[in-house]
């Protein structure tokens, strides 16, 4: 193991800063995964990898970048969330809170009955998540529209409603990018900006989430989608 980790250190050393490396090794020593496999996505704030456990099970590792992320924007969003009002404008603290918030939001969403990746671990700026997929990773809704549009759409609205009413959360960045199509069923991902319904801009975010979803499904050919009515139902 020592020999192995030395080798990984050499390979990963070119990709990650020391702080990230140390945390990755902590997660490895805690048994969350054995090695990173492929990079899946380089987003605005985070890099996503698949990783493999000792038992050859896949997991997802989401690493928020410590340097090249827009922590000013993160701060503007998170300071509205009453759970994080104590937060001072300190780069690392904000990024860690942002990561932790995603973990907490995923747990809450899951408890409310929304299909999301199970959060397996969080350490500072790194999240370990359930891998959604089988042999192949589940695709974003955007790249894999479902056959049964109405059924899929209804499920999404049901999830938005469960989030709002049971988890008391609004996703806030819902779109065909942040919904996966896993075997014809929606899975919501990317919960870092999800906030409590009592946040001052929660209604606006809800409106935007509903709108984004409706715009996509209209493009797919669905008719008579009434955003106002959906919103009323959720707020009722």
Ligand X SMILES: Nc1ncnc2c1ncn2[C@@H]1O[C@H](COP(=O)(O)OP(=O)(O)OP(=O)(O)O)[C@@H](O)[C@H]1O
Q: Which residues are catalytic?
A: 173, 190
- Answer yes or no: are the C-beta atoms of 96 and 124 closer than 8 Å: yes
Nearer to ligand X (CB atom), residue 64 or residue 231: 64
Interface with ligand X, residue 145, by CB under 6 A: no
Nearer to ligand X, 117 or 172 (CB): 117
Binding mask 180-209 for Mg ion (x = CB under 5 A): ----------x-------------------
| Per-residue binder mask for ligand X (CB under 6 A), 185-204, x = binder | ----xx-x------------
User: Rule CB under 6 A: which of 56-75 touch ligand X?
Assistant: 60, 62
Binding flag, residue 178, Mg ion (CB under 5 A): yes
Q: Is 163 in the site for ligand X (CB under 6 A)?
A: no
Binding of ligand X at residue 209 (CB under 6 A)?
no
Phi, psi of 63 (to 5 degrees): -115, 110
Of 9-17, 124-132, 202-210, 213-221, the segment contacting ligand X by CB under 6 A is 124-132
């Amino acid at each position: 193991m020592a020999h192995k980790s030395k080798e990984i250190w050499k390979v990963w050393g070119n990709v990650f800063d020391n702080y990230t490396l140390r945390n990755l090794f902590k997660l490895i020593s805690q048994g969350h995964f054995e090695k990173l496999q492929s990079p899946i996505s380089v987003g605005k704030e985070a890099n996503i990898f698949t990783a493999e456990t000792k038992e050859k099970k896949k997991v997802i590792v989401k690493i928020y970048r410590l340097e090249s992320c827009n922590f000013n924007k993160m701060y503007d969003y998170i300071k509205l969330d009453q759970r994080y009002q104590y937060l001072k404008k300190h780069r690392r603290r904000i990024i860690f809170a942002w990561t932790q918030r995603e973990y907490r939001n995923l747990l809450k969403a899951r408890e409310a009955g929304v299909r999301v990746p199970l959060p397996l671990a969080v350490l500072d700026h790194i999240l370990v998540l359930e891998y959604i997929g089988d042999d192949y990773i589940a695709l974003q809704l955007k790249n894999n529209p479902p056959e049964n549009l109405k059924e899929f759409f209804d499920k999404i609205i049901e999830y938005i409603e469960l989030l709002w009413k049971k988890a008391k959360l609004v996703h806030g960045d819902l779109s065909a990018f942040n919904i996966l199509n896993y075997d014809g069923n929606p899975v919501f991902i990317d919960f870092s900006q999800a906030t409590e319904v009592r946040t001052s801009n929660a209604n606006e975010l809800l409106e935007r989430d509903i709108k984004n979803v409706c715009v996509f499904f209209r493009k797919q050919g669905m008719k008579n989608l009434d955003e106002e009515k959906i919103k009323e139902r959720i707020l009722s």
